[in-house]
Structure 1
Amino acid sequence: MKNLKLFFLSICCFILFGFQDSSISETEPKPEQIKQLLKQAESSIDQMLFDKAHNQLNKSLELAKRIKHDRYVALSSSILARMYSVRHEYDKGITQLERAISIQREIDDQEGLNYSYIMYGKLLTAKEDNDRALKYLNLAQKYYQKKDNEDKLGIIALNKAIIFLDQGNLDRAKAELSNAKIYLESTTNGYELTRLYYFIARVNEREGDFRKAEEAAQKSLNIAIEGGFTGMSMYSYGILSEIEEKRNNLPMALFYLKKKNEIRAAVFDVNKEALATEIDARIGVKALKSTVEDLTQQNAEQERTLKVNKLTTILSVALITILSLLTLSLYKNNNLRARANELLQKKNTELVLAKENAEKASMAKAQFLTTITHELRTPLYAVTGLTHLLLEESPTESQKEHLNSLKFSGEYLLSLINNILDLNKLEANKVEIVNSSFDLKKRISDVLIALKNSADERNTKLHFEFDNSIPEKLSGDPLKISQILINLIGNSIKFTEDGDIWIDVKKTGQVGKKIKLEFQIRDNGEGIGKEKQKAIFDNFTQGSTQINRKFGGTGLGLSIVKNLLSLLGSEIDLESELGEGSKFTFELEFEAPEAEFAKANATPKIDEAKLTNDIMENKRILVVEDNKINQMITRKILEKNKVICDVADNGTIAIEKVQNNAFDLILMDIHMPGISGIEATIEIRKFDGSIPIIALTAVTLDDNLDEFYLNGFNDIIPKPYKTEEFFHKINKYLAAKEAAV
């Protein structure tokens, strides 16, 4: 009967909550609801309730995405970065912030962007990158000074003080703390107030003024306890313990240290299971002892006979035996637990050391690739640039044949460098998916146009079939789609001579706005043996040594394809027979964006398709370059299009020329003797904020694009470049400058 009642009660609860969930799911979330969740998440982080904060942030992110509220999507990532900062997971925090900053820049959310800049400054401080941290904090300070936001200005001053304190610059630290105190004393932001008094205590302790240090630490502790800021309570007890230890007041130092460790244990759940097991065992022993004593007493009162006395004796012996066994068991368990903890700590130390060594090796590898790439790109720029100039100077047929061979070799070497860099980024997990709306059919057509010359050279025909039921506009990552198709179709062209290649794209399913497409690249070329089909997707692997000698290549293209598809949540399927060709198949999911989601208020852009080189005529362009060969090549390429070209050998000369002359555009190298291109750009921006400045450089840009844009560059052209891309970017900024006048 009881079970039946429980069953009916469960059914009622299920129906009730099922209807509630249904009603909730149908209700459209409001921005105020998301804002409240984000505020609650910040409060949970202050109290070190990380699981609760994580759930609140996940919920806010889900609601923001549902109503396509980009500002709150970015803000959720910023606050998640703050949580990772408190938990000392700085790399995760930086990844979240970079995602947030990218969205905030795109939607021009200045308030959210400057909030992220403050957080970026904190994380960079924790990573000991103090110079970059100060740059971001200064950017945020300028914004909040205009807004007269005392709360944020106080937080910025406090974080600057922390940087100067870490650097040992006590005077600067005290000055910034004084500014922070002025701004924050009237605020209701209890968390930042407790941090303020904590670092005031730190400075006074460093200077040996223990009375002031204790006074500030006690203020920090009182605010932390009142506000429920668990982490700051722990840190405040810690500094109080240090102060008393330096005063040689060891009992109080020990008292505060115990308080700190109690909070640490409560936060991190130290050994709770072991404590619970031990308590349960002790309670069991006491219960057993109590039961035996009660039984003995009852028997003594009822039967005062010799038989009962013997039984009591036996029970007493049994009790002592049980107690002894339990005590021995607990002792052994404690010993085993202590040994296991010691072994685990040792293994953890070894793992941390191995991880640090692996990270150092990975950083060394990345640094090597960056350096060697720069060293290769600089002379390769001279090769491709001079080849382009010579091909435009009416060479003889034999000279033209040699120059085309030289051009092919330069492009092949550039492709090899790019493939190695792409693979390095994929292996280091530095590639992120970027969703945007694009025309898939046009994107594939552009890839086929780019590969047509290679196919014509091998007398191979390209056949393209596209399912007409696929929407014209799709949402996805067009750049990665292009990379995958270029590598797969290029691979088929390499191994197919006097043959055909078929590229088919068809829709395989649709649920709502989600569309699944199947891509198939099929050829009737050389084919691949069964024993080699799995290995060809590994790095630097080809079908055989004979294939390598016959067709060339590095064996990186298919490895990049496999890694990119894995990043997009897909995998590639291969069917092939030697002498009968190959068929590569993969599926990808896209979203069909609705027209109403298009950015109605987007800023009008120049029609880039109509841009021609005529716009460069009589324009004044300054080339800042220390390499004489590169100077000559860039100058000649520009002057062939009737550009009035001037040259500066270094950054200092460039600054003087821009101050004394009117230029329409600047092409700026980065690595130069004296001041760098970045430093020169910063100086130019102090007196000219409108002139387009494009970085024309051989450095690897993937890891520091923020730094270029942050310091005043409009765009970047990596060397060596294709002349079409070179002219396209110059024309775009010249046209934009004319339109703005």
Structure 2
Amino acid sequence: MISKLPHNGIKAVLLVLLVFTVAQTSWTQDSITLSDNNIEARFDEARRYKNTNVIDLALESLDKAAEIAEKKEDEKGLVDCYHKFALLYFELDKRENTIFYWDRATVLLKDLEYPHGHAVHKFVEAILLYDSGNNFQAIFMLNEARQLSNDRNLLNNILLLEANIYVAIEKYDSATKNFNSLLINTDIYESEYLKTQAHLGLAKSYSKTENFEQSLENSKEALAIALANDFSKEVFEANEMLGVTYEKLGKYDLSLVHNRNLLKIKDSIFNIEKTKTETKTAERIQFERMNDVINQQEEEINELKENVNRSEITAILTSAFLTIISLLAVSLYRNNQIKLKTNDLLQTKNRELQAARDAAVQAMEAKTNFLSTVSHELRTPLYAVTGLTHLLLDENPSENQKEHLKSLKFSGDYLLNFINDILQINKIDADKLEPLNLEFNLKKVLTDVISSLQQSAKENKTRIILDYDEAIPGHLMSDPLKLSQIFMNLVGNALKFTKNGEVVVIAKLMKKEEEDVTLYFEVKDDGIGISKEQQEHIFDSFEQGSIQINREYGGTGLGLTIVKSLLGLFDSNIRLHSEAGKGSSFFFELNLKSKDSIVDDIPFEITKKDYDLKGLFVLVVEDNKINQVITKKMLNKKDINCDIASNGTDAVAMANENDYDGILMDIHMPGISGVEATIEIRKFDKEIPIIALTAISLDDSLENFYAAGCNDVVTKPFKPEVFYQKIGENILEKKLKKSAS
């Protein structure tokens, strides 16, 4: 259907008009059978009319719903009506009417306990903020709305508005993520409509980034869904996008077909009579609603008058009353003047506060982007430092040189850990981290952490003891990587401040109900301890208790900050008990899911293999000349042959022309990125192993690398043993399996 559409544009338009007319008639007949007291049925009716661009009938349905709510004295229902009126008038570009209904809802919500109503209220406010160009305030308001309601339809519309805001502020990656989420929505009310909007949003985003092929595909998808569901306004927008995109691709005949379609669609969707009908209905309903408010106020005034007429007021009392009224009028006038001045002052202060908040948000984003850029840029020269140090240490240096090289290696590793800590904190602050939900073995995680820190324990003559409750299920669901980071920081911190002592890692089962498991964790030591004063700030960034402690024990003071932030992702809090000179104890609880149905087939301990990599032929994709030399030398040390591609475009061409055993792909390169190059290679080669070598930045996501087609990821600067291990696991083993078959 999509491929034939450009050649049959006139037929498609006539089909839309025919279905549109039939649907309008059937909906009108259906509305007759609707229950007079069913507000939700009127809401559904209004939603269908709105999505098919029959705004006048949508307004009529909402007006009937409002009458039902008023008769029943249903304040929540009336709030919902006001919100839907506000959104419909916004569709008609009548901002003042939108604000009128939003204000009416504000009055009712003031004394009403209605979380969903408050959530929609903030959603409407976000639309008004976005319309006036206050994008960051709009995003802030959408986040507040999310906290108040779990209504799926509302959350989907919040996701759609947020995506459009991201497009407006040129955050196309974030916008694309939201739009893609809406493509698989399960909304019971507007599933197809939301998919159409998502495809249109993706088409516009890809067009902005000059990815016209993807823009074209999404425009076609949007048009197909819109035609199938009589979304006439979206049919127009999809044809408009197709006309523009075909023109940019140089396909002028197809562009002309869709531009002709637009002229015919305009006659049906945007004709003068339709606009007049919508405007007339909108003004009539608005007049009636405002007139109801006036009549209500007049009734209250008449009631007051009747009460006065029933009383017999003497001349003296009348005179006194008039005098009092005069004084009150003067006082009211003065108070009104003060109130006006106060309102002006408040509005001025509100504008200043909004400007300050926008400035603060922009400053936070600037800080985040700066730290991300600095962290990423430092990793690239660090790769050269650590790589060259490793190569020099393997070339039999003299004892004097070996001592200097080991010092250089230690400094490089220390700086790398510091950069990693900064990047981790930055990702958490920027909400770039979300916990995964994977099956894992907790005992293996804790054993691996303890094994990796045994060398540090030996240097301090300290024992690490694992007190593990065997009643803990063997298969749990959570994020094992982030749990490893938590325990790596806690145990590493305990070892740093403990000499000739013990560090105990405790894991206990507190409660288990079916698959819900509550675990207690504690890491305690008998080291130097922490004073009461130091405990107040110990979880703050760059805090180590005192300058003396920092000078004696070293470190960045970010470890406990990272632990606290990571536990926050699991809705858990870390607590501390310590006394100076008597050791410290850090403890917390976690709620996890267990998988009791899974049976252990193999032991969880997996030994690392010593691979013979001789004879492999790989492609190295790297734009930095120094990194090219270092990577090539590291490969040659293992008798691995390689070709070098300096950019993503060359990498795609070379992978297509040569038969490589695997590809080592840098991610951040000028031109097309490593992710884009991987996607292109996967179009013609689904099997070749691709390992991403990247200095991961704030906006990078391991999930994105794997989704693009990477088999594994090694972060720069990497340890040589990890580098060779990944090549063996992903490239050599695949080659051996292929040869065996």
TM-score range, shorter chain: 0.5 to 0.7
Tell me which of 627, 630, 633 is aligned to 1:633.
630
**Is the alpha carbon distance of 1:626 and 1:91 closer, same or farther for their aligned partners in structure 2, counting shifts above 3 Å?**
closer
Match of 2:458 among 456, 459, 468: 456
CA displacement 1:679-721 (0-9 Å, x = unmatched):
6556545654543444323351534667756766555433112
Q: Deviations over 1:515-535 (max 9, x none)?
A: 222211111222222221112
Q: CA deviation at 1:496?
A: 1.3
Identity %: 40
Q: Is the 8 A contact 1:539 1:559 kept in 2?
A: yes
Q: State the Cα distance separating 1:358 from its structure 2 match.
A: 1.5
Aligned to 2:418: 416
Take 1:413 and 1:160, find their aligned partners in 2: how far apart are those partners?
Answer: 55
Tell me, yes or no, if the aligned pair for 1:536 and 1:558 is still in contact at 8 Å: yes
Tell me the equivalent position of 1:691: 688
**Over residues 47-68 of structure 1, what are the superposed CA-to-partner deviations in whole Å (9 max), with x where a residue is unaligned?**
764947979xxxxxxxxxxxxx
SS at match of 1:646: strand
One-letter amino acid of the structure 2 residue matched with residue 593 of structure 1: K
- For the residue of structure 1 that corresponds to 2:587, the secondary structure is strand
Task: Give the aligned residue type for 2:436.
Answer: V
Could you give the per-residue CA deviations for residues 7-47 of structure 1, whole angstroms, max 9, x where no partner exists? xxxxxxxxxxxxxxxxxxxxxxxxxxxxx9x9999869957
CA contact (8 A) 2:542 2:558 kept: yes
Asked if the contact 2:465/2:503 (under 8 Å) is kept, the reply is: yes
Contact 1:570 1:588 in 2 (8 A): yes
Provide TM-score, normalisation by structure 2.
Answer: 0.66
Contact 2:220 2:242 (C-alpha < 8 Å) held by counterparts = no
Aligned residue for 2:534? Answer: 532
Give aligned pairs, total.
Answer: 597
Give the Cα–Cα distance (whole angstroms) in 1 for the partners of residues 608 and 50 of structure 2. 52
Correspondences of 1:47-446 after superposition (within 5 Å) = 49=84, 51=116, 80-86=155-161, 90=165, 98=177, 130-131=208-209, 137-138=215-216, 140=218, 155=234, 158=237, 161=240, 179=258, 215-216=270-271, 219=274, 259=283, 262=286, 283-293=299-309, 313=315, 317=319, 338-339=340-341, 341-393=343-395, 400-446=402-448
Query: C-alpha displacement at 1:136, in angstroms?
Result: 5.9
Task: Specify whether residues 313 and 116 from structure 1 end up closer, same or farther in structure 2 by C-alpha distance, changes over 3 A only.
Answer: closer
1:429 positional shift: 2.7
Query: How far did residue 447 of structure 1 move?
Result: 0.9
- 1:337, distance to aligned residue in structure 2 (A): 5.8
Partner amino acid, structure 2, of 1:439: N
RMSD: 5.4
Alignment match, 1:72: none
Q: Which amino acid aligns with 1:630?
A: N
Of 620, 640, 643, the match for 2:640: 643
Match in the other structure for 1:508? 510
Distance 1:76 1:714, change over 3 A: farther
CA distance in 2, matches of 1:316, 1:456: 99
Q: 2:144: which partner in 1?
A: none
Partner of 2:714 in structure 1? Answer: 717
Partners of 1:42 and 1:79 within 8 A in 2: no
| Structure-2 change in CA distance of 1:123 and 1:534 (3 Å) | farther
Matching residue within 482, 486, 489 for 1:487: 489
CA offsets 1:472-500 (integer angstroms, 9 cap, x no match): 12222222221111111111111112221
- In structure 1, how many angstroms separate the alpha carbons of the residues matched to 2:377 and 2:639? 31
Change (3 A) 1:521 1:331: same
**Aligned in 2, Cα 1:126/1:631: closer, same or farther, shift over 3 Å?**
closer
Indicate how the Cα distance of structure 1 residues 360 and 494 shifts in structure 2: closer, same or farther if over 3 A, else same.
Answer: same
Deviations 1:203-235 (A, max 9, x none): xxxxxxxxx69944654786xx6xxxxxxxxxx
Say if 1:347 and 1:173 are closer, same or farther in 2 by CA, change over 3 A: farther
CA distance in 2, matches of 1:659, 1:418: 36
* Number of the residue aligned with 2:38: none
Contact 1:77/1:97 (CA < 8 Å) preserved in 2? no
What amino acid is the match of 1:158? E
Deviations 1:344-379 (A, max 9, x none): 432332222112211221222122122212221111
Q: Distance in 2 between matches of 1:527 and 1:563?
A: 22
Once the 2 structures are TM-superposed, how far is the Cα of residue 148 of structure 1 from its aligned partner?
Answer: 12
Give ranges in structure 2 of 5+ residues lacking alignment: 1-40, 52-57, 59-82, 88-115, 121-149
Aligned partner of 1:618 in structure 2 is 615
* AA in 2 matched with 1:640: K
Distance 1:453 1:733, change over 3 A: same
SS at match of 1:355: helix
How far did residue 96 of structure 1 move? Answer: 10
Q: Hey, what's the Cα distance between the residues in 2 that align with 1:152 and 1:44?
A: 10
Distance 1:142 1:630, change over 3 A: farther
Bigger shift: residues 578-587 or 112-121? 112-121
Q: TM-score, normalised by structure 1?
A: 0.66
Secondary structure of the 1:502 match is strand
Counterpart in the other structure of 1:31: none
1:659 aligns with 2:642: no
2:453 is paired with a residue of what secondary structure? helix
